[in-house]
């Protein structure tokens, strides 16, 4: 959870990672993820939830797990009326490091620096979550304003031939 506005120092309010037993059935794992996210939402009551946009990778199993966890996060937020926004991994990396192909070490170093943390967030997934929040604060608000402006424009009249 990160608080801030573009152009101003950012503040980490909290960070955590929901872990599930690898040997648990998929339904049980998703339930544990939901319970962890619901506790997090109860504790922090965010204005918005940013989720990583899942894209095809070579490892289908990893993609499926990430997509399922992302869907649970979107469901939990939407159930509470909290807006959800999606950002691609390369968009997040570019936002925090200036390089859409940055590695985990670069992202972690920049997150630590941008949030003025005494030490890097642990585990590495925590740094990824914070990077996603930073990305949304810096880019999402501009994207939302652009989308709202486009939506408010009168539509061109359609002509039939």
Is 125 flagged in the annotation as binding?
yes
Buried b / exposed e along 126-155 (16+ C-beta atoms within 10 A) = bbbbbbbbbbbbbbbeeeeeeeeeeeeeee
* 52 is known as an active-site residue: yes
- Out of 52, 91, 103, 128, the active site residue is 52
3-state secondary structure of 85: strand
- Please state, as a whole number, how many other Cβ atoms lie within 10 Å of the Cβ of residue 113: 11
Note if the bond before 123 is cis, omega within 30 degrees: yes
- CA separation for the pair 160, 140 (Å, rounded): 37
- Out of 3, 34, 38, 125, the active site residue is 125
Is 3 flagged in the annotation as binding?
no
- Please state, as a whole number, how many other Cβ atoms lie within 10 Å of the Cβ of residue 95: 22
Annotated binding site: 52, 125
Q: Which residues are the active-site residues?
A: 52, 125
Annotated binding-site positions for Mg(2+): 52, 125
């Amino acid at each position: 959870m990160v608080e801030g506005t573009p152009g101003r120092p950012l503040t980490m309010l909290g960070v955590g990672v929901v872990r599930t037993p690898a040997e648990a059935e998929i339904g049980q794992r998703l339930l544990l993820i939901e319970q962890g996210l619901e506790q997090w939402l109860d504790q922090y009551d965010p204005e918005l939830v940013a989720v990583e946009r899942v894209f095809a990778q070579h490892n289908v199993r990893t993609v499926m797990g990430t997509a399922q966890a992302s869907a649970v996060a979107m469901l939990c937020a939407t159930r509470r009326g909290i807006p959800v926004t999606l950002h691609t991994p390369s968009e997040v990396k570019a936002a925090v490091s200036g390089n859409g192909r940055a590695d985990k070490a670069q992202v972690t170093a920049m997150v630590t620096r941008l949030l003025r943390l005494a030490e890097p967030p642990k585990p590495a997934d925590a740094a990824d979550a914070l990077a996603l929040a930073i990305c949304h604060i810096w880019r999402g608000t501009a994207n939302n304003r652009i989308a709202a402006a486009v939506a408010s424009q009168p539509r061109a009249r359609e002509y039939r031939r």
